[in-house]
Structure 1
Amino acid sequence: MDFVCGHAGRPVTALTHRDVARALLAVPSGVALVAMPDLRRAMMAAGNPLSRAFWDSAKATLSSIESGVATVGDVQRWIESTGTEPILMTPSYFVWPEEDERGPVAAEMYAKLVAYLEERVESGEIDPDALAAGDPEARRAYEELQEHWLSTPLPDGRVPGHAVSDEQDEELFAAWDEEEAFALSELRRIVGELPKQPEMPAAELETAAARLRQLLAMPGYPASVLRACAGYDDRPMPDDDRELWLAVAAGIAGPVSDLAESGDVLEEFADLAGELSDEDAALANLCAIQHADWLAGVAALTRMGPGVLASPERLARLIAESEDIDIDEQDDDDLDATEGLFESVVALWRYLGIVDEDEVLTPLGWWGLPKALELAWSPTPE
């Protein structure tokens, strides 16, 4: 009893089904099963017996855990059936962060929802016994109650679901910015240590930029992807060849925007059995490549210089063998996955003259790749 009260931070008379369930799960299932009869008698003597349905469900769940047949979902469902445990993922796909990953706002909102649910149990609006018995109507009402709370403004004006999501977004963006800043510093260090700095091939750049301007004016792939990468669907292209070329090359490493929507975009996404278009597949691949992979691949090419093979297969191998990043040992599946992502990259590089038709790095690519990557990772002026 002392352990359960200490774990819940409440006296025995205030313990809820959720408090006891969480305490039972905090110890080995065998220990919990042995201790449960004494715990039940102690709570009954203290005037807070809980319900028979709860104790039966607790025994069944702990026995399943002990025998190794319970799934994580089974256990989560049981905790939620206590009537005051927030649903991990609601029908509208709101997902609570794991307990050890909640920021101050998520922790606050979670506690507020628990308190709200406790009030609903006290008023009889939530029936934990019906939830424990698996009553579908009770479960549906329980889910709808939480959905409503998450989307209803609090007295201070905050909408709980939005507040939690905003905090998660801020944390994600902060982690992304930190990773990008580190990658940028490493890139600058690597380029700065080169025995010979790449020089801009003016004639090749002029030719590539002229070809690129013609390409960007065309409909469909690859022009649509390159425009989206550089953000030129909703803004004019610069007159300066160097600025244009670097913006598009940087966009491949860090796409600025999504594809412009077409009239049948909803119909395309509704066709779940259909394959992705070349445009969607290419942009998805670009967005899936991590900073570390870009850094390792471009660093290796920059060190080796023009004339080196820069095929997707070669890039995957260079990334796997790189000493510039921390990477686990790669198996064939990992290499195939990296190669698949960089197939879209190398295909687009050919249109910019970064590699030639044989997928060999050109002098323009040697000069432009590190500069493009630096541009992609540099903070955008506000």
Structure 2
Amino acid sequence: MDFLCAHAARPASAITRRDVARALLAVPSGVALVALPDLRRAMMSAGNPLSLPFWESAKATLSSIESGVATVGDVQRWVESTGTEPMLMTPSYFVWPEEDERGPVAAEMFARLVAYLEEKVEVGEIDPDALVAGDQEARRVYEELQEHWLSTPLPDGRVPGFAVSDEQDEELFAAWDEEEAFALSELRRIVAGLPEQPELPAGDLEAAGARLRELLAEPGYPGNVLRACAGFDDAPMPDDDGELWLAVAAGIAGPISDLSEGGDALEEFADLDRELSLEDATLADLCAIQHADWLAGVAALTRLGPGVLASPERIARLIAESEDIDVDDQDDDDLDATETLFASVVGLWAQLGIVDRSEVLTPLGWWGLPKALERAWSPAAE
């Protein structure tokens, strides 16, 4: 009982089913099972006996955990059946961050929701015994109360669901910016340490710029993907061929926008059975490549220089063997996944003259790849 009260930060008379469930799950299941009868008697002595269905469900859940047959979902559902544990994911797909990953706003909103649910249990709007028995109507009420609370403004004007999502977005963007800044500093360090600096192949750049302008004017793949990568659907193309080429090459490493949406885009998006188009699949591949993989791949090609094979398979191998990043031991599946992602990249690189028809790095690619990557990772103010 002392452990339970300390764990819940409440006196015994105020302990809830959720408090007991969380305390039981905080210790080994065998220990919890042994302690369960004494804990139940102590709660009765404190005038807070809870209910027989709860204690039976606790014993059944702990026994399942101890025997190794309980799933994470089973345990989560049991804790939720206490009536005051917020659903990890609501029917509208709002997902709470894991407890150790919640920021101040998420932690505040979660605690507020727990308090709200406790009030609803107190007045009888939530029936924990019906929940633990699997009553569908009780579950529906429990879910709808949470959905309503998450979408209802608080007295200070904040909408809980949006406030939590906004905080998660801010954390994600901050982590992304930090990772990008580190990758940029490493790229600059690597390029500065090259024994020979790539020189601008002016003739190759001029020819590539002319071809690129023709390509960007054409409908369909790959022109539409390259326009989206560079953000040219919403912004004018630069007049200078070098600026144009670098903008598109940088966009491949960091796409600026999505494809222009047609009139039936929403309907197509909602069709879960629809196969991804070549354009959508290509952009998805580009966005899935991590900073570390871009850094390792481009750094290796820049060190090796023009004439090196830059096929997707070769790039995947260079990344796996890179000393510029921390690489875990990779199996064939990891290499295949990286190769698949870079197949889209190499296909677009060929359109810019970064690689030739044999997927060999060109002088233009040797000069331009590190510059394009630097542009992609540099803050807009730079």
- How would you bin the TM-score normalised by the shorter chain? over 0.9
Aligned to 1:253: 253
**What is aligned with 2:108?**
108
Q: Secondary structure at the match of 1:285?
A: helix
Q: Report the counterpart of residue 234 of structure 1 in structure 2.
A: 234
Instruction: Write out aligned runs for 1:121-136 (5 A).
Output: 121-136=121-136
Q: Residue type matched to 2:291 in 1?
A: H
Match of residue 161 from structure 2: 161
CA distance in 2, matches of 1:312, 1:90: 40
Distance apart, 1:274 and its partner CA: 3.2
Hey, what does 1:59 align to over in structure 2? 59
Tell me the TM-score normalised to structure 1 length.
Answer: 0.99
Deviation for aligned residue 1:271: 3.7
Q: Deviations over 1:253-275 (max 9, x none)?
A: 00000111022323433443332
Aligned partner of residue 84 in structure 2, secondary structure:
coil
CA distance in 2, matches of 1:171, 1:268: 31
Residues 55-95 of structure 1: CA deviation (Å, up to 9, x unaligned): 11111111111111110000000000001000000001100
Residue in 2 aligned with 1:137?
A: 137
Deviations 1:303-332 (Å, cap 9, x if unpaired)? Answer: 011111100010000000000000101111
* Other-structure match for 2:352: 352
Alpha-carbon separation, structure 2, partners of 1:335 and 1:33: 46
Q: How does 1:84-123 map to 2 (within 5 A)?
A: 84-123=84-123
* CA deviations over 1:275-313 (Å, ceiling 9, x no partner): 211101100000000000000000000001111110001
Partner of 2:272: 272
Stretches of 4+ aligned residues off by more than 6 angstroms: none
Instruction: Provide the C-alpha distance between the structure 2 equivalents of 1:32 and 1:353, rounded to a whole number of angstroms.
Output: 66
Residue identity in the other structure for 1:293: D
How far apart are residue 53 of structure 1 and its match? 1.0
1:28-58 Cα distance to aligned partner (Å, 9 max, x none) = 1111111111111111111110011111111
- Corresponding residue number in structure 2 for 1:380: 380
Q: Could you give the per-residue CA deviations for residues 102-153 of structure 1, whole angstroms, max 9, x where no partner exists? A: 0000000000000011111111111111111110110011011000000000
Distance 2:262 2:320 in 1: 38
Map Cα deviations across residues 212-271 of structure 1 (whole Å, 9 max, x no partner). Answer: 001000000000100000000011101011110000000000000011102232343344
Matched residues in 1 for 2:289 and 2:201: separation? 28
Partner of 1:213: 213
In structure 1, runs of 5+ residues without a counterpart are: none
Instruction: State the partner residue of 1:198.
Output: 198
Q: Distance in 2 between matches of 1:310 and 1:32?
A: 58
The corresponding residue for 1:294 is: 294
Aligned to 1:177: 177
Q: What runs of 5+ residues in structure 2 fail to find an aligned partner?
A: none
Letter of the structure 2 residue corresponding to residue 7 of structure 1: H
Q: Partners of 2:282 and 2:362 in 1: how far apart?
A: 22
Q: Normalization by structure 2: what TM-score?
A: 0.99
Cα distance in 2, alignment partners of residues 6 and 160 from structure 1: 28
SS of match in other structure, 2:361: coil
Identity of aligned residues (%): 84
Distance 2:39 2:16 in 1: 13
Q: How many aligned positions are there?
A: 382
Q: Which amino acid aligns with 1:314?
A: R
Code of the residue aligned with 2:169 in structure 1: it is: D
In the alignment, the residues of structure 2 paired with residue 302 and residue 33 of structure 1 have an alpha-carbon distance, to the nearest angstrom, of: 61
Superposed CA RMSD in Å reads 0.9
Hey, what's the Cα distance between the residues in 1 that align with 2:42 and 2:198? 78
Q: For 1:271 and 1:148, how far apart are their aligned partners in 2?
A: 28
Name the SS of the counterpart of 1:328 in structure 2: coil
